[in-house]
Chains A and B, each alone.
Chain A
Amino acid sequence: MSTETALLETGLRESTLFRFATAGSVDDGKSTLVGRLLHDSKAILADQLDAVARTSADRGFGGAGATGSQAIDLALLTDGLRAEREQGITIDVAYRYFATDRRSFILADCPGHVQYTKNTVTGASTADAVVVLIDARKGVLEQTRRHLSVLQLLRVAHVIVAVNKIDLVDFSESVFREIETDVQKVARELGLGSDGIADVAVIPVSALDGDNVVDRSDRTPWYSGPALLEVLETLPAADELESHLESFRFPVQLVIRPQGALAPDAVAAGLDVGAYRDYRAYAGQITEGTVKLGDKVTVLSPGHEPRITTVTGIDFAGSELAEATAPQSVAIRLADEIDIARGDTIAAAGTVRESSADLYAALCWLSPKPLREGAKVLVKHGTRTVQALVRNVTGKLDLATFNVEAASSLELNDIGNAQLRLAAPLPLENYLHHRRTGAFLVIDPVDGNTLAAGLVKDHPGDHEDERYVI
């Protein structure tokens, strides 16, 4: 099948979504790799290519006699802002879209040198996979170790290492094998791959020439693995992997209670006004697991004992569903009239712990304003935002040794551990097992900026994760 036909069929067929991010260091050719993926998967349309070709020619890219994609600076396809084009750098996370006949992809292109932790954490937080670039001439750098440690911390399901510019080391197998060994060594040190959290694939590529990007290259006969795009097309997405250990979690966004104010279009279409006069449902997005009609659920609200009730309806815009699964947005009706508001959580009964106001967490510090002990911050968890006091910083990750060192503050790009006291208890869960209900934001109460990405850890002294099951 030609790529054009494949593209056309993709457009007409139901496909699934796969989100991935790219992370790299300065000048390792990440923009070129992204440009190559987009170009070779025909995601670049003619007018975009024309604009890039004109700019490439103006700048003399590829030299005299260069033709086709050789004459185009593919990096220009992804640099979005004027300052980026002027300075030849990438400033901020950019999102790209392309599709093959198997999948629709959302690519978060994360720049390496400016605020790299912020960008990598941002891209990785929603990614099913992350592609880390290494320059074949430079091998594993400190920044590679930093990237991999962030990915390990965020429990990204799949890590792919693209050893780029393999053409500049004459397609040398020994250079590639040496880097591959180093990567696996770092992965082992970090615990990537050892506990089934992430597997690491290492691929030799030339983004400039296209080797092993979309198609396997005959210039790397010693490499028998798949090309990068093949890997991306076949890896299971994070929600497929999580499906076997999931329990239903549903942070309530708002209560739908129209009373008199029913939608006129729904009424015109025959909605039974009398039957919906007392309609009350809890709207939200399922963050994890599946819910079925008749399921017993626990409602967690601060200031209330956990309450057990039964699911009597799962509504989606006029359709009544028998079951719904993450990440569906639905509205849930419950058997008992209980007071439920935004910020409460509905969860499968018997699977959650008591809410807690003591928060032990790993923090990725994303702000130039450092974290100090005693600071007052806001914590946004699920659909609830509460005030919090930073009681102490208990350590900081040394990215050279991967050891946790003593620290009393966290600066931009630091990853550390801290203990916070919350103004109201939250249904906190260990991030290791719950990527959504184990995640939170730290927000500056003064200017509203996001200060950190937080990952909930178990309380020290907890042995059994399920000790306080309710």
Chain B
Amino acid sequence: MSTQITNEDLELSVLETDAAETPTAAQALRSARLSSLDTLESEAIHIIREVVAEFEKPALLFSGGKDSVVMLHLATKAFWPGKVPFPVLHVDTGHNFPEVIDFRDRTVERLGLKLVVGSVQEFIDRGELAERADGTRNPLQTVPLLDAIQRNKFDAVFGGGRRDEDKARAKERILSLRDEFGQWDPRNQRPELWNLYNGRHTVGQHVRAFPISNWTELDVWRYIEREGVELPGLYYAHEREVYERDGMWRAVGEVSMPKPHEEVVTKLVRYRTVGDMSCTGAVVSDARTVADVVVEVAASTLTERGATRADDRISEAAMEDRKKDGYF
């Protein structure tokens, strides 16, 4: 067994190819295999199509964050030249970066999609959720998410979760079964074999589908670069008023005001994740273009969650606990 191209192989390719374009051995070998990005893209599109074919009413979680933007881009490719055949669902913390909401609305308009919003603020206003002592609203998204799923009878919800993000996510299936309460039972997961996905569920259960499970943060950025995918501007370096808290740079905003002792400075920053503005930190960066970001991510020594999400730092099992309770 060998990777070398034999004479026989070469003769074959000479026969099959225009004589003027006889490939070299190296070209023949390269064309035999897809690049890792093409392989990941085809895998994701296959999963998106399986879910649409097998479920009654799927929806895609769309926050305007880069992973959900990539998911939506993959969906447009999966059904081209048709429309994306499902609505998008945004769980709105109320603690938004205004440019992200603007981006969300423009994207939905451009693709002719239906937008369903589950609002954390409305639940707080009705007294069905209480603001946390630390002010972050990311963990509060679970209740409006499950409410929107039930109210709209969604039986499958696409998420942009990736297994490289977190140790608990590393163990979650691509199709993840959730019970009536949206809970994930990590000790009772179905084996996922070959490319045969089993999405069967009973009434009340639903499935979370993670088509880009096998992508890394770097894959996502290389794909954004390759495909020319548009993102909210705050993913790229820009001047912003920030202050330091818990070792992270926080933006000054309505929901994220500095305390008197926290000095506000103007820095060139960008975001690696976008979420609840009050707990998402910026990183100091001069990466103004997608190419700059790819280089920066490739050289990074911190994970994106470790660098920018205060809520994931709370405990070693923060993500696991939230997923068990029905979180993304």
B50 beta carbon closer than 8 Å to chain A: yes
Partner of B193, one of A4, A240, A378, A441: A441
Q: What sequence of 0s and 1s flags, for each residue 204-227 of chain A, a beta carbon within 8 Å of any chain B beta carbon?
A: 000000000000000000000000
Would you call A92 and B189 a contact (CB within 8 A)? yes
Taking a contact as CB atoms closer than 8 A, the residue among B200, B201, B298, B302 that contacts A46 in the complex is B302
Give 14 CB contacts A-B under 8 Å. Answer: A15-B36, A45-B302, A97-B216, A126-B194, A239-B33, A254-B49, A257-B82, A263-B84, A264-B112, A266-B81, A283-B49, A327-B46, A380-B198, A448-B200
With A285-B195, A439-B194 known as contacts, the answer to whether A80 contacts B110 (CB < 8 A) is: no
Interface membership of chain A positions 110-133, coded 1 if the CB is closer than 8 angstroms to chain B and 0 otherwise: 000000001101100110000000
Query: Does B302 contact A8, Cβ atoms closer than 8 Å?
Result: no
Residues of chain B within 8 A (CB-CB) of A199 are 1
B316 touches A85 (CB 8 A): yes
15 additional contacts (CB under 8 A) given A12-B295, A16-B35, A261-B83? A17-B36, A46-B301, A48-B306, A91-B186, A92-B186, A95-B214, A236-B3, A237-B33, A239-B32, A240-B3, A253-B46, A264-B111, A317-B76, A447-B202, A453-B193
CB distance from A94 to the nearest CB of B (A): 5
**Contact of A96 (CB < 8 Å), options: B41, B170, B321:** B170
Across the interface, do A95 and B163 meet the contact criterion of CB distance under 8 Å? yes
List B residues 184-209 near A (Cβ within 8 Å).
Answer: 186-187, 189-196, 198, 200-202
The reply to whether the CB of A355 lies closer than 8 angstroms to some CB of chain B is no
Cβ–Cβ < 8 Å partners of A329 in chain B: 41-43, 45-46, 49, 78
User: Across the interface, do B192 and A122 meet the contact criterion of CB distance under 8 Å?
Assistant: yes
Min Cβ gap B36→A in Å is 4
Q: Which residues from 53 to 83 on chain A have a C-beta closer than 8 Å to any C-beta of chain B?
A: 55, 78-83
A-B pair number, CB within 8 angstroms: 236
User: Which residues of B281-328 have CB atoms within 8 Å of chain A's CB atoms?
Assistant: 294-295, 297-303, 306-307, 316-317, 320-321
Q: Are A439 and B79 in contact (CB under 8 A)?
A: no
Residue in A266, A268, A443 whose beta carbon sits within 8 Å of that of B200 in the complex: A443
CB pair B303–A265 under 8 Å, yes or no, is no
A241: CB under 8 A from chain B? yes
Q: Which residues of A contact B196 (CB under 8 A)?
A: 380-381, 439-441
Indicate if the CB atoms of A97 and B214 lie closer than 8 Å. Answer: yes
Interface assignment of B218: CB less than 8 Å from any CB of chain A? yes
Is A279 an interface residue when CB atoms closer than 8 A count as contact?
yes
**Does more than half of chain A's interface fall in helix, strand or loop, or is it mixed?**
mixed
* Complex contacts, A328 vs chain B, CB 8 Å: 34, 38, 42
CA separation between A381 and B34, bound complex, in Å? 25
Q: Contact at A263–B80, with CB atoms within 8 Å?
A: yes
Query: Contact at A318–B171, with CB atoms within 8 Å?
Result: no
Q: Is A370 an interface residue (CB 8 A)?
A: no
A254 to chain B, nearest CB (A): 5
Once A17-B40, A318-B81, A436-B194 are accepted as A-B contacts, the answer to whether A81 and B168 lie under 8 Å apart by CB is yes
Considering the chains assembled together, what is the distance between the CA atoms of A265 and B106 in angstroms?
A: 12
What residues on A are CB-neighbors of B38 within 8 Å? 328
- B residues within 8 A CB of A46? 301-302
Check B20 for interface membership: any CB of A closer than 8 A. no
Could you say which of B49, B164, B198 contacts A441, with CB atoms under 8 Å apart? B198
CA of A450 to CA of B197 in the docked complex: distance in angstroms? 10
Max chain A CB contacts within 10 Å: which of B3, B195, B297? B195
Which of chain A's residues have a CB closer than 8 A to the CB of B35? 14-16
Residues of A close to B114: CB separation below 8 A:
none
**Contact of A184 with B by CB under 8 A:** no
A7 to B201, CA, bound (A): 42
B1-27 interface with A by 8 A CB criterion:
1-3
The smallest beta-carbon distance between A85 and chain B, in angstroms, is 7
Chain B residue at smallest Cβ distance from A47 = B306
Q: Does A356 contact B (CB under 8 A)?
A: no
Binding site for A on B (CB under 8 A): 1-3, 32-43, 45-46, 49-50, 52-53, 76-84, 110-112, 163-164, 167-168, 170-171, 186-187, 189-196, 198, 200-202, 213-214, 216, 218-219, 222, 294-295, 297-303, 306-307, 316-317, 320-321
Report the interface size for chain A: residues with CB under 8 A from the other chain: 93
Q: Are A263 and B81 also in contact (CB < 8 A) when A46-B301, A126-B194 are?
A: yes
- In the complex, which of the residues B43, B82, B317 contacts A82, with contact meaning CB atoms closer than 8 Å? B317
Q: Is A309's beta carbon under 8 Å from chain B?
A: no
Query: What are the residues of chain A within 8 A of B37 when measuring CB–CB?
Result: 14
Contacts of A325 in B (CB 8 A): 32, 34
What is the distance, in angstroms, from B162's C-beta to the closest C-beta of chain A?
9
Known pairs A95-B214, A283-B49; A264 contacts B83 (CB<8 A): yes
Interface check A104, CB cutoff 8 A: yes
A258 touches B82 (CB 8 A): yes
Q: Determine if A316 is an interface residue (Cβ-Cβ < 8 Å).
A: yes
CB distance from A135 to the nearest CB of B (A): 25
**Choice from A11, A45, A453 contacting B191 with Cβ under 8 Å:** A453
Residues in B with CB closer than 8 Å to A80 are 167-168, 170-171, 320
B-side contacts of A122, CB under 8 Å: 191-193
Q: Does A346 sit at the interface, judged by CB under 8 A? A: no
Q: What 0/1 pattern do residues 5 to 29 of A give for CB contact below 8 A with B?
A: 0011011101111000000000000
Check: A243 CB closer than 8 A to any chain B CB: yes
Given contacts A79-B167, A342-B53, A439-B193, whether A91 and B187 have CB atoms under 8 Å apart is yes
Q: Could you tell me the distance between the alpha carbons of A276 and B193 in the complex, rounded to whole angstroms?
A: 37
A256 pairs with B110, CB closer than 8 A: no
**Distance of A273 from chain B, by nearest CB (Å):** 9
Chain B residues, CB < 8 A from A234: 3
A33 at the interface (CB under 8 A from B): no
- Nearest-neighbour CB distance to chain A for B249, whole angstroms, equals 16
Q: Is A51 in the interface zone, CB < 8 Å from B?
A: yes
- Across the interface, name the chain B residue whose C-beta is closest to A52: B316
Give the residues in chain B near A51, CB-CB below 8 Å: 316
Question: Are A83 and B198 in contact (CB-based, < 8 A)?
Answer: no
> At the interface, yes or no: A460 with Cβ under 8 Å from chain B?
no
On whether the beta carbons of A8 and B171 are closer than 8 Å, the reply is: no
**CB <8 Å contact, A317 and B77:** yes
User: Given the complex of chains A and B, what is the CA–CA distance between A408 and B302 in angstroms?
Assistant: 55
Pick from B36, B84, B303: contact of A45, CB below 8 A.
B303
Q: Closest approach, in angstroms, between the C-beta of A114 and any C-beta of chain B?
A: 9
Residue with the highest number of chain B CB atoms closer than 10 Å, among A83, A106, A199, A453: A106
CB pair B171 A94 closer than 8 Å? yes
Q: A16-B33, A46-B302, A439-B193 are in contact. Are A92 and B76 (CB under 8 A)?
A: no
**Chain B residue at minimal CB-CB distance from A118:** B191
- Is A194 in contact with chain B by the CB < 8 A criterion? no
- Which residue from A12, A83, A263 sits with its C-beta under 8 Å from B79? A263
